[in-house]
Amino acid sequence: MINAKKRIKKHKSRQRFSLAQKIILSVIVLASLIVIIASISILFLKPQNHTEALINKMATDYYENYFYPNFSSSKGFQQITNLDDAMAKYHDHGFSPVKLRQLLLYDNRKNDQYRKEVTKYCDENKTFIKFYIDPPYKKNSYHYEITYSCNY
């Protein structure tokens, strides 16, 4: 009989939520999720982040698949006997800056698909990419700096 009373007390001590409390709790949880998702979206999907990622993607593609192959296959590059001395100026001062417009138009307008997204915020004639070649002067040994002219 004592066990029966304990069971009854345990059962009664469990808190049951009324329908109104369940609805309020659901609304609070849902609102919290919306705020969290919106915050994450704003943080990661900013136009600036997306635009800069596209420009970086185009710059990498341009250097590795267009500029370096053409530069390294030139007669002057192939005749260099001391590569370190010849490339030192490009390592220190970089190549001539490349306009964003050139990244969009090179290789039969290869990146034309990004034009609307990028030029919505950035001026294609005033945004520049400057490439610097790094030792050992191979296709993947380089870095670049981007001078943005963008309005976000």
> What is the tens place of the pLDDT at every residue in 58-73?
999 999 999 999 988 8
Whole-number pLDDT of residue 54: 93
Number of folded domains that form the chain: 1
Single-letter amino acid, residue 76? G
End-to-end, the C-alpha distance of the chain in Å comes to: 74
- pLDDT above 60: residue 11: no
**What pTM value is reported for the model?**
0.68
**Residue 62 resides in a domain:** yes
Q: Are 127 and 135 in contact (CB under 8 A)?
A: no
Q: Are 134 and 143 in contact (CB under 8 A)?
A: yes
Q: What is the mean pLDDT of the chain?
A: 87
Q: Are 142 and 133 in contact (CB under 8 A)?
A: yes
**Residue 41 resides in a domain:** no
Task: Give residue 39's pLDDT band: very low, low, confident or very high (50, 70, 90).
Answer: confident
Whole-number pLDDT of residue 68: 93
Q: What is the pLDDT of residues 84-139, one digit of tens each?
A: 888 888 999 999 999 999 999 998 888 989 999 899 999 999 999 999 999 998 89
**Residue 137 resides in a domain:** yes
**Residue 91 resides in a domain:** yes
Give the CA count within 13 Å in the CB-facing half-sphere of 151: 3
Structural domain harbouring 83: 48-147
